[in-house]
Amino acid sequence: MADYIMTDIQVIGAGGDFDVRPAVGEEWEVTYIGSDAWVGVPPASVPDVNAGIFDGTLGPAWVLATLAVRGWNRRQKLFLNRTDYLRLNNPGGAGANVSFSAKVVRAFGVAASFVVTDLDQLAAAATWEVQPPVGYEYHITDVGSSQWIGAGAAALPDLQVSLYDGTLEAIIMNGADTRGWDKNLDIYINNTDYFRLTNTNVAQADVCIVGKIARFFGTGASVVRSEIQTIAAGGAIVWDIQPPAGEEWRVTEIAADTWVGVNPAGLPLLTVSMFDGANLSDLLISTDSKGWLGDIDILIDNQNYLRIIDPTSAGLVAGISAVLTRQYTV
């Protein structure tokens, strides 16, 4: 089925809400949100709109918030179905023309939805593991929370977002640090290496994930290559992420349980390099923000691959999100 648009403008009264809710048997993707009312100090002004995932009971868990710059400088990838949808809130003192750009991406009728967007309610310090069933792979594109930390333009969802394998945890984003928040997430998970959200607020929070089933592989082999690894601490201080001969991978995220720097400028304590078995070329360094704040899209094969280094040799946990993009006979 070809995509067709559901773009619309709604007049929302002061303090009012409008729900962007797909019809039964449809999945939508919201790509942009706007308003004729803006708030903040230029050049950091944003539409005076809160946008969050809602299921009629839990939420909204905000992915975009009025005044906060987080998320407004990118295309949205908000996957919705009839159960977990988008609430737009006008927090202003007057009515506003609020718009959303959206398209129907799938009409599934009586079949199962591919959208895995969901909500959970977490007490302070509680965790939520988002673990696909055996035989499934998920693609996670955003997260949100009803509790944010920080003031004005610098506010962020008060969450710790991690890769997790049931034992080891590597942090992708912290609510107190700007790293990673102003982009769409591009995280691939399966039943072995999956996703963990921790409510780092002192109060209870409704939190959400946004995403879809990337693939159902049943009893076949997963193409997700996400992994978590302990490095250093008496062992090797490097982790070579080297696809087998005949495979090409796309690395979409890099994480660590140890960060360095003063909030909100903290970064994973890692050096990430391209390596060919002899020569190193640095891609990401924990002392510099280059590359850490935007999209990570690193293509590797058996000859030119990633080397992740613990620069302190003190021991830490590192993780990657990665997916197989090509497999061929050598």
Q: 200 and 74: one domain?
A: yes
Q: 49 and 186: one domain?
A: yes
**Digitized pLDDT (tens) for each residue of the chain, 330 residues in all:** 456 999 999 999 999 999 999 999 999 999 999 999 999 999 999 999 999 999 999 999 999 999 999 999 999 999 999 999 999 999 999 999 999 999 999 999 889 999 999 999 999 999 999 999 999 999 999 999 999 999 999 999 999 999 999 999 999 999 999 999 999 999 999 999 999 999 999 999 999 999 999 999 998 999 999 999 999 765 568 999 999 999 999 999 999 999 999 999 999 999 999 999 999 999 999 999 999 999 999 999 999 999 999 998 889 999 999 999 999 998
Q: 183 and 233: one domain?
A: no
**Helix, strand, coil content of the chain in percent (nearest 5):** 0, 50, 50
Q: 57 and 133: one domain?
A: yes
Structure tokens given for 301 = 């094969």
Asked if the structure places residue 50 within a domain, the reply is: yes
Range of the domain at 284: 225-327
pLDDT of 173-218, one tens digit each?
999 999 999 999 999 999 999 999 999 999 999 999 999 999 999 9
Number of domains in the chain: 2
302 sits in which H/E element: none
Q: What pLDDT, on the 0 to 100 scale, is given for residue 219?
A: 87
Q: What backbone torsions phi and psi does residue 78 show, to the nearest 5 degrees?
A: -105, 105
Asked if the structure places residue 79 within a domain, the reply is: yes
- Distance (Å, whole) CA 182 – CA 311: 26
Q: 144 and 50: one domain?
A: yes
Q: 180 and 310: one domain?
A: no
Asked if the structure places residue 21 within a domain, the reply is: yes
Q: 93 and 205: one domain?
A: yes
Q: Decide which of 215, 234, 262 is a domain's last residue.
A: 215
Asked if the structure places residue 205 within a domain, the reply is: yes
Asked if the structure places residue 61 within a domain, the reply is: yes
59: Cβ contacts below 8 Å, ≥ 6 apart: 52, 53, 87, 119, 146, 206, 208
Q: pTM (2 decimals)?
A: 0.96
pLDDT of 268-314, one tens digit each?
999 999 999 999 999 999 999 999 999 999 999 999 999 999 998 88
Give the CATH number of the domain where residue 253 resides. 2.60.120
Q: 232 and 194: one domain?
A: no
Q: 68 and 210: one domain?
A: yes
Q: Decide which of 192, 215, 238 is a domain's last residue.
A: 215
- Distance (Å, whole) CA 240 – CA 246: 17
192 sits in which H/E element: none
Q: What pLDDT, on the 0 to 100 scale, is given for residue 312?
A: 87
- Longest pairwise C-alpha distance within the chain: 65
Asked if the structure places residue 74 within a domain, the reply is: yes
Q: 175 and 68: one domain?
A: yes
Q: 153 and 253: one domain?
A: no
Tell me if residue 122 falls in helix, strand or coil. Answer: strand
Residue 202: count other Cβ atoms within 10 Å of its Cβ.
11
Q: 47 and 104: one domain?
A: yes
Structure tokens given for 209 = 């994930």
Q: Decide which of 193, 215, 237 is a domain's last residue.
A: 215
